Amino acid sequence: MNATFLLRLKAFMIDYLFILAYLTLLIVISVFLFPSLQNFFNGSLVVAQFTGFIMVTLPVSLYFIISDSVIVGQSFGKKKMGIRVVDENGKYLSLKRSIFRTMLKFAPWELSHYLAYRLAHLGDGEMPVFYISVGGIIYALMFLYILTAIFSKKKQSLYDTIAKTQVVKI
């Protein structure tokens, strides 16, 4: 049986506690131990974006890639909620499919980082239409992901449909 949106949300919130702990650790390290790390975010947009990706997006993505794949089988939150991600045949996700699913799942998050860095550097300048478009894409993806997970027949998010995965109760 497919997991409901509420079960999925609860599992993600549990996993997000780990993410928040990691982000808190990053802040403590960058403020108290290595304040020079902050310089990477104040330089060029490319350096700031890359640093953010390496320090935040990549570790968080790796957590979900590894835990949702055949390597571990379930993230901590999914295990607590009694759900898991499977492929269209009901089997554990291959590492390749887990990477693809996670890339799709976190696309709005990374696009948000992309936009945030650019808006921070924009200052009081006029907002380019491209930035407005990126913001629209971010919100559209988030709403599509949520609405498809709630209302689709198999309770699959759009990224699950594209990746040919589903979250099931176990």
pLDDT of residue 114: 93
Domain count, the chain: 1
Q: Is the per-residue pLDDT at 29 higher than 90? A: yes
Provide the residue type at 84 as one letter: R
Question: Mean per-residue pLDDT for 69-90?
Answer: 97
pLDDT of residue 43: 75
Strands (E), the chain: 83-87, 165-169
Report the alpha-carbon distance of residue 36 to residue 54 in Å, rounded: 16
Report the alpha-carbon distance of residue 129 to residue 107 in Å, rounded: 20
pLDDT in tens, 107-159: 999 999 999 989 988 878 889 999 999 999 999 999 999 999 999 999 999 99
Question: Mean per-residue pLDDT for 23-30?
Answer: 94
Domain that holds residue 31: 5-169
The answer for residues whose C-beta is within 8 angstroms of residue 163's C-beta and 6 or more apart is 97, 100, 101, 104
pLDDT of residue 38: 84
Q: Which two tokens stand for residue 147?
A: 């609405």
pLDDT of residue 42: 81
pLDDT of residue 71: 95
Cα distances (angstroms) measured from residue 92 to each of 66, 67, 88, 166:
11, 11, 10, 10
pLDDT of residue 120: 86
pLDDT of residue 123: 79
Q: Is the per-residue pLDDT at 166 higher than 90? A: yes
pLDDT of residue 61: 97
**Any bridge partners for residue 166, and if so which?**
86
Instruction: Report CA 167 to chain centroid distance, whole Å.
Output: 16
Considering the chain, what is the average pLDDT of its residues? 95
